[in-house]
Amino acid sequence: MGIEIISTGKYIPSLCFKNNDFTKIETSDDWIVQRTGIKTRYFEKKITTSQMAALAAKNALDNTSLDPKLIKVVIVATMTPDSFTPCCASKILDDLGIRAMAFDINVACSGFVYALNVCHGLLNEGEYGLVIGADEVSKLLDFTDRRSCILFGDGAGAAIIKKSDSYSKFYAMSKTDTNYILNAGGLSQIKYGNTLHNFKLQMKGQDVFRFALEAFDDCFNNLEKNNISIDDIDLFIPHQANYRIICSVARKHNIDLERFYINLDKYGNTSSASVGIALDEAIRGGVLKKNMKVLLIGFGSGLSWGYSLFKY
């Protein structure tokens, strides 16, 4: 059994930061664009992650006539929840008029793809699920570290799905990040007697770049093992981390760059929200059309990676 995408939605904060807003940390618009492809990003200063998730979900619900009461599963993918408990997913149920199984997952930038895979597995044929990726990465950023703070933005993306006999394929994998190439602190700052990194997000850019390429390779290899050719995929919607990563993947696998949907120039890396926001824009912008095969790919902290392949 596969999934149908019934509707999508997104929420983008109103506070826009351009590259020139970061010049106090010895960077420039040219430096950022050349190395990342990012031109703007949006930070949320007024509402919480769960409220952003609710607004993205409402945007998706407003785009369909589906009765919210028919939704059986709600999953919010986030690494920046309002609280450890209750989870974001449970907080938004009443606001959306939904009574359902609800929980959060945290695999950072792989979140939306993982959530789709998990939701698919929990639904029976004909049932509906709501998947949301939402993150306020800005509250984890060290704004003195130009290697990381220029990369990220806040936002939320949502999709309402239906379990059906539609064409779909899912894959997800993880491994331990033994070198802490991408991490942020939490309740415990001590592990095995050694002080860990502080609460702020820290990233080893070159290591993350290499990991991302390996994640794409593994996803494409898995497709090949299942007799699925990347030549048959009409549109690729990857996690929006870095333009250079996407270009490197395209060159390595001989994929026309125009087959990748890219919006990171506008929003930066919105972590769990990244793929959901891009999916919503690809659909509403007419880039993703009916009967096209689309591959969503996520890769992030954990380390984690995976894909969702379906026919729109």
Catalytic residue chosen out of the listed positions 59, 149, 219, 239: 239
109 is catalytic: yes
On whether the CB atoms of residues 233 and 293 are closer than 8 A, the answer is yes
- Token couple for 109: 């930038």
Catalytic-labelled residue, pool 59, 88, 106, 109: 109
- Contacts of 212-219 spanning 24+ positions with Cβ under 8 A: 212/241, 212/242, 212/245, 212/299, 213/245, 213/248, 213/249, 213/252, 215/297, 215/299, 215/303, 215/305, 216/249, 216/253, 216/297, 216/299, 218/173, 218/305, 219/171, 219/297, 219/305, 219/306, 219/307
Q: First vs last Cα of the chain: how many Å apart?
A: 15
**Annotation marks residue 269 as catalytic:** yes
User: Known catalytic residues?
Assistant: 109, 239, 269
